[in-house]
Amino acid sequence: MSEINFFVPKGPFNLNELSDDKSFKDKKIKIIDLKTLDIATKKDLTFFNSLNYKDLAIKTKAAACITNSNLAQYLPKECYKIIVKNVLYSVAKISKKFYPDADLDYPDKSVVNSLKVSSNFPSVIFGKNIFIGNRVKIGSKTQIGSNTVIEHDVQIGKNCLIGSNVTIRNSIIGNDVVIQDGCKIGVKGFGFIPLKDKNFRFPHIGKVILKDKVELGANCTIDRGSIGDTIIDENTFLDNQVHIAHNVKIGKNCMIAGQVGFAGSSTIGNNVSIGGQAGISGHLKIGNNVKIGGGSGVVKDIPDNTTVMGYPAVPLKEFLKKGKN
């Protein structure tokens, strides 16, 4: 699978075009893109809005960073600091300059009936009424059910099974992946900046990556990343009606039961098991070999090799002790 950006940035922009800070007026610094702290280069703009990301901020190679006055001290000296009151609102506004069409999911006008392009995929088995966008790649022996839409530039590996009524956009899918009926993959996430008189949309410019041997149950929804990607690693299985928000990263060999919901930007380790209808709050780190009981509400980080249950989720022994009182 080749790397691809589904959204191409406008620009480049001078730093003074992106910031109201007058101190940047005479600084002719070209910014080519907006990226996260860990992957930003000397030609990129990034942002830093939480101490949770202090370790990444210290090491960032970004040319400039949007942050607030309390966090600026952690950034490298050579990184220009754009100090604002509301970091995410400023990021959203600047993101719209780079990616003006990424705040909504507009229909892909390039899709055509698979009957017109089936000769491009001689070893793929198509159901009825399937629509395929421009530059889509599909590996050999993959099967696709009826009424499915695969939008432009999506990449799908070999030996995959994709059910009926599935929509896939802004996604790279590995080999031997199973996607059951009704799944929606790569859609825009629930990203809004709440303001006093309105909600401001946060553009979502990332993608979804499903690695080899991932399985998705029926009617799962997986949002693409906002800035960065949503990733599910090898051999992880999702039950029906699981929701994964933007920028979530799930490790290898995980088992996630029905109606589990993940808020944005949480990281889940390897070999994690999560019971049905559990909820995982945003920006958390769940360690390796963790077990989360059904119906639990996870609101803080969980270390490796821990079993938790309840709302809020606590270690199992503590939960059972409370039940006896």
Q: How many helices (H) and strands (E) does the chain have?
A: 5, 37
| In contact, 277 and 260? CB cutoff 8 Å | yes
Q: Which one is catalytic: 152, 204, 246, 283?
A: 246
User: Is 246 an annotated catalytic residue?
Assistant: yes
CA 230, chain centre distance (Å): 3
CA distance 174 to 155: 8
The Cα-based distances of 2 to 6, 113, 133, 137, 322 in angstroms read 12, 25, 17, 10, 51
Q: What DSSP line would sit under 187-232, residue for residue?
A: E----EEE-SS-EEE------EEE-TT-EE-TT-EEEPPSSS-EEE
**Collapsed DSSP state (helix, strand, coil) of residue 84:** coil
- Indicate which residues carry an active-site annotation: 246
